[in-house]
Structure 1
Amino acid sequence: MKKILSLLIVLAAALVARADSDDDRYRFIDRVETCEAILREFQADPARAIPAQVLQNAKAIVITTQFKLGIGLGLQEGYGTILVKKADGKWSIPVVIRAGQASVGLQLGGTRLESVYVIMDERTPRLLFEGRFNIGVDAAAAFGPHDSEVEKSNQKLLNVPVLVYTNQKGVYAGATVKSGYITRSDSINRAFYAVDYDLPELLYGNFVNPIPGYVRPIVEYVTELSP
């Protein structure tokens, strides 16, 4: 009887673990598809679109969505995905991350913040190897020029490590950004890709081959924008 009970406990634990893994897979797919939709929406709007001059020099692209809710101390929590351009010139598979920030001041109601971070150097994406990257602190960041204001593009601005694009109103190209952070979310990536590798290996290695169909659209779209 004890053996049967022990077996049932082990079986139940395995089923729970499988359910958690399936939840992570569905969550991963939803987040990647949401981030792809955000990037497409940005590029379809000249007021928000990222110029080709910026994209062709990109070393990595981070897309995030966050929801702010609070009074007094505004807390933003959300998620995103990162892709890097590897040494062979090909874009990596997407890796899911967490995103957030805190702001002090009167915050009423809720606001959804969508952002695209175009990383212009090879060092900055690797800051995530340590687990967390603070935007504008660990690497300089500034709001980037849009298609509608491409004349504001200049070499000095293009040399900023992180160019930020957001659905916030009232921002202007070149303004310094010191807000927000992104962190690793290794468990959800391991669950989806069914590997024991974490962010560094998934971004810069070739351990997932062929590319799963669910993530191929975002890889192909980013490749189209920045061949």
Structure 2
Amino acid sequence: MKTKIFAGAMLLATLSATPMFASSDRSDLDDRLLQARKVIDQIASTPDKGIPDGIVSHAVCVGVIPSVKKGAFLVGAEYGQGVVSCRTGHGWSAPVFIRLAGGSFGFQIGGQATDLILVAVNDKGFQDLLKSKFKIGADASAAAGPVGRNAQAGTDIQLNAELLTYSRAKGLFAGIDLNGISISQNQDDTDLYYGTKGENFETILHGKQPVPASAKGFVGTLARYFHIARSR
């Protein structure tokens, strides 16, 4: 046990010194939105291998974490920065920024960085994304999402899962088990992006914050792919 604790401490110390933990600037955030938009564009280009229509039309919120990185020092870990937007009565909301962190679970293909997508399928999933931090599988129920335009989500997924989780690497798109991964609000990056202090995630995700010009590409792509708006 002491060996594992020491290894974990050394991992955090090592990762903390790497660029992925460095402070962001505005250009980093704009690029994150651009990369997230590209992930959705790439999934949209292969609809028969993408997210089923039944999920696309009923998605409440979508989180995109492009190019999740993997670091290893005695033990493995994943780390990523992403964005979230939620469906409102008048379209998709302005984005907020999130972080992903967790132990190694082998979702990467050939060592390549992997894109992740989180789809909240009900209001419980939306409420999860309003928490300052939550762990998938412990604080929020999740399931590997089904793939294929006409694929049907199983009854257990529809009734029990709050989030459906997907990965994309080397052109392959598939559902993935992300149990044990932690998702947290990135308040610093959200404040930086909007130029305010303590920007409220709920206010933004409920659509009360205008979509900034640099986020319109990402939000517009979500609106085209995750179609059929529903009031919440």
When normalised by structure 1's length, the TM-score is 0.75
**Equivalent residue, structure 2, for 1:146:** 147
1:137 Cα offset (Å): 1.8
**Equivalent residue, structure 2, for 1:79:** 81
The change in CA–CA distance for 1:151 and 1:30 in structure 2 (over 3 A counts) is closer
**Equivalent residue, structure 2, for 1:186:** 187
| Aligned-pair identity (%) | 22
Decide which moves more: 127-136 or 150-159: 150-159
RMSD of aligned Cα (Å): 3.1
Structure 1 residue 54 corresponds to structure 2 residue 55? yes
The change in CA–CA distance for 1:67 and 1:115 in structure 2 (over 3 A counts) is same
Q: Deviations over 1:130-152 (max 9, x none)?
A: 3112112212111111126x344
1:125 Cα offset (Å): 2.7
Q: Deviations over 1:158-197 (max 9, x none)?
A: 3321111112699976x76413121111122122222332
How do 1:133-212 and structure 2 match up within 5 A? 133-147=134-148, 150-159=150-159, 160-167=161-168, 177-196=178-197, 197-206=199-208, 208-209=209-210, 211-212=211-212
* Separation (CA, whole Å) in 2 of partners of 1:140 and 1:59: 15
Q: How many residues align?
A: 201
* Separation (CA, whole Å) in 1 of partners of 2:217 and 2:105: 38
Residue 81 of structure 1 aligns with an amino acid whose one-letter code is: V
Question: Who wins on radius of gyration, i.e. which is larger?
Answer: 1
Structure 1 residue 98 corresponds to structure 2 residue 120? no
Partner SS for 1:42:
helix
When normalised by structure 2's length, the TM-score is 0.74
* Separation (CA, whole Å) in 1 of partners of 2:102 and 2:147: 24
Structure 1 residue 221 corresponds to structure 2 residue 232? no
1:205 Cα offset (Å): 4.8
The change in CA–CA distance for 1:217 and 1:186 in structure 2 (over 3 A counts) is same
The change in CA–CA distance for 1:102 and 1:215 in structure 2 (over 3 A counts) is same
The change in CA–CA distance for 1:143 and 1:212 in structure 2 (over 3 A counts) is same
1:121 Cα offset (Å): 1.2
1:220 Cα offset (Å): 1.3
Partner SS for 2:34:
helix
* Separation (CA, whole Å) in 2 of partners of 1:172 and 1:216: 27
